[in-house]
Amino acid sequence: MLTIENKTTLPINIERLERIADNLTPREIDLTICDNNMIRQYNREYRHKDKPTDVLSFPVEGDFEHLPLGSIVISADYVIQLSQELGHTQEDELLLLFIHGLLHLLGYDHENDNGEMRAKEEALIQQFNLPKSLIIRMENH
């Protein structure tokens, strides 16, 4: 189950988000779409980085099936900016950031693994028919 709070005017395709979530976990996920100011506050408070970012993940501690998996926060400002810079749709960018955040909730960590998270992202991009250009972008970051 996916609970979405869109604090912006960014259009979202709930069905595609739910399809991705349901494919990866039966647990509830909270998704918040906000602006750069709000995500900067979260980033400063929880990661001690005083700058906006594209996506943040907040997993629920412990493996309790009855509890939500966690929360994902995505900056609509980044969705718009990155989609324009990289030449794909805002919907595709939102889905990529959602996948990235969801994989973090599931325990993947690209900063400490040996490419497992990137490989999983690539497989999901292909599975959900997202542009192949998103794979190249991931490889360059």
CATH code: domain of residue 40: 3.40.390.30
Over the Cα atoms of the chain, what is R_g? Answer: 14
Q: Does residue 47 lie in a domain region? A: yes
Q: Does residue 97 lie in a domain region? A: yes
Residue 5 has pLDDT above 80, yes or no: yes
Q: Does residue 73 lie in a domain region? A: yes
Look up the pTM and report it.
Answer: 0.92
Q: Does residue 46 lie in a domain region? A: yes
Structure tokens at 114: 């040996």
Q: Does residue 124 lie in a domain region? A: no
More reliable by pLDDT, 140 or 73: 73
Full domain range(s) for residue 20:
2-109
Q: Does residue 118 lie in a domain region? A: no
Strand pairing partners for 31?
A: 4, 72
Average pLDDT estimate for 85-94: 92
Instruction: Say how many domains are in the chain.
Output: 1
Element spanning 73, H or E: strand 70-75
Question: Which pLDDT does position 94 carry in this prediction?
Answer: 96
C-beta separation of 38 from 7 below 8 A? yes
Q: Does residue 114 lie in a domain region? A: no
